[in-house]
């Protein structure tokens, strides 16, 4: 997954650079390359990156449940906050 993310970000950066390079000569093609690169960054790369980073984590650790609130209160009492 890491290699896929790296390859995708390099391709997206290359497409963006190519779009800015070709834009003075062919405005429509340059804008198209830049637009596709930015859209693929947000709709393809970003969800894959978030999935990759959160894949092995438990969402219960980050949710405010009754047990987590009690745990935080106990820790606060131990520290005399």
**Domain residue ranges of the chain, discontinuous segments joined by +:** 2-78
- The per-residue pLDDT for 4 is 96
Query: Per the confidence metrics, is the pTM higher than 0.85?
Result: no
**pLDDT of 68:** 86
The answer to whether the beta carbons of residues 20 and 7 sit under 8 Å apart is no
Separation CA 32–CA 36 (nearest Å): 6
The stretch 29-47 carries a mean pLDDT of 98
Q: Check pLDDT > 80 for residue 62.
A: no
DSSP state of 1: -
pLDDT at 10 over 80: yes
Model confidence at 28: pLDDT above 90: yes
- The whole-angstrom separation of Cα 2 and Cα 51 is 11
pLDDT for the residue numbered 72: 86
Torsion-angle region of 58 (φ positive above 0: left; ψ -120 to 50: alpha; else: beta): beta
């Amino acid at each position: 997954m890491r290699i896929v993310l790296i390859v995708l970000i390099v391709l997206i950066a290359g497409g963006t650079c190519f779009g800015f390079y070709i834009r003075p000569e062919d405005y429509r093609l340059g804008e198209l390359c830049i637009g596709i690169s930015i859209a693929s960054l947000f709709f393809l790369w970003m969800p894959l990156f978030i999935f990759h980073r959160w894949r092995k984590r438990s969402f219960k650790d980050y949710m405010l449940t009754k047990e987590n609130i009690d745990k935080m209160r106990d820790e606060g009492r131990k520290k005399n906050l």
